[in-house]
């Protein structure tokens, strides 16, 4: 049985979707559903059982779990970059990951976990996924710090030759709808265009970036799950890996792709001031260094325009926008 933690969330549910597409239904859903709408991500999917994350870790460590675990895809975490309760983030993101990793290592089970590009901080030290660089990075928020701590812990304990950690860049696509303010600019732009015919983007407050020229390594969730499952299926591929495209694109490009997907070739963009409380922590550029993953994985990824068109036309514009095997 494959365990997917955070499996009602964005990337977790997309992983279950792709497993189902590969005719794998022997999946254990592990999550904390709470009171938001993430449960809807599970409606179209197939799996054996669903457990609360606290029940799961307790039964796993006691040896009372009713299922035989073959490996764990650990996507579960609080991913809010505005969360300020560090005690919660350390327990939920760092220590929970630590417990799962130790169990998998002790029982010789495959462990693939979600790190984050947020560990790189402002990007001034680059975006290289080589291991010696890990302790040098300076995350800008508590979420990034909680992910950084496990990366460094795994390095110090020499676990990175036995497990795989994934630094996701700016992932977008179906099943992100429950994330509210943390949803991608694609879905927000789609909603703004439907409502007002235009999209609002932050102005640049740096002279070296034009308005809308702030750039990210935007990566489609379908490509993310393919890369993730490749690493799960190839236990000889271990260590920290960037999960992106290797090519930064501007927010203007992203929004223009949304307009084009809606058959509106001329983007209508209004630039607004960035709130002062986030200006000092705002990343103007991210771009994954992909050389390490490309040594073993060389499948082409969606272009930005292809990915946005698929997302908008085959999901956002349909009655059922959720991933369905």
Residues annotated catalytic, as ranges:
143, 179
Nearest to 28 by CA among 78, 65, 80: 65
Query: Can you list the positions of beta strands (E) in the chain?
Result: 2-5, 27-31, 49-52, 71-74, 110-114, 164-168, 170-172, 199-202, 215-216, 218-220, 239-243, 249-250, 269-272
CB contact set of 131 (below 8 Å; sequence gap of 6+): 155, 160, 239, 240
| Residue 114 token pair | 């979600």
Handedness of CA 119, 282, 168, 93 (dihedral sign): positive
Q: How far apart are CA 6 and CA 30, in angstroms?
A: 6
Q: How far apart are CA 139 and CA 137, in angstroms?
A: 6
Nearest to 304 by CA among 235, 242, 271, 258: 258
Which alpha helices (H) appear in 157-250, and where do they start and end? 185-196, 221-233
Q: How far apart are CA 139 and CA 154, in angstroms?
A: 17
Which alpha helices (H) appear in 76-134, and where do they start and end? 86-89, 96-107
């Amino acid at each position: 049985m494959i365990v997917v933690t955070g499996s009602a969330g964005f990337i977790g549910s997309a992983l279950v979707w792709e497993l189902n597409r590969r005719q794998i239904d022997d999946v254990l859903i592990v999550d904390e559903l709470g009171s938001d709408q993430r449960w809807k991500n599970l409606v179209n999917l197939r799996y054996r059982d669903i457990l609360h994350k606290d029940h799961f870790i307790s039964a796993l460590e006691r040896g009372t779990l009713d299922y035989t675990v073959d490996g764990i895809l650990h996507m579960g975490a609080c991913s809010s970059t505005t969360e300020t309760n560090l005690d919660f983030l350390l327990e939920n993101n760092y220590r929970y990951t630590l417990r799962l990793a130790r169990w998998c290592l002790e029982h010789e089970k495959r462990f693939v976990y979600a790190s984050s590009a947020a560990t790189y901080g402002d990007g001034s030290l680059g975006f290289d996924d080589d291991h010696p660089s890990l302790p040098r990075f300076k995350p800008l928020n508590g979420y990034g710090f909680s992910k950084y701590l496990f990366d460094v812990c795994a390095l110090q304990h020499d676990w990175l030759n036995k497990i795989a950690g994934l630094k996701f860049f700016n992932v977008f696509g179906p099943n992100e709808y429950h994330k509210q303010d943390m949803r991608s600019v694609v879905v927000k732009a789609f909603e703004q265009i439907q409502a007002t015919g235009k999209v609002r983007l932050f102005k640049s407050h740096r002279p070296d970036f034009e308005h809308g020229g702030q750039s990210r390594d935007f990566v489609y969730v379908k490509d993310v799950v393919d890369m993730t499952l490749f690493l799960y299926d190839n236990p000889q591929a271990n260590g920290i890996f960037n999960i992106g495209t290797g090519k930064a694109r501007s927010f203007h490009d992203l929004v223009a792709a949304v307009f084009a997907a809606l058959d509106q070739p001329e983007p209508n963009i209004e630039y607004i001031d960035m709130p002062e409380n986030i200006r000092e922590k705002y990343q103007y550029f991210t771009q994954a260094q992909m050389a390490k993953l490309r040594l073993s994985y060389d499948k082409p990824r969606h272009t930005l325009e292809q990915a946005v068109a698929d997302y908008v036309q085959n999901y956002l514009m349909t009655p059922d926008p959720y991933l369905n095997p």
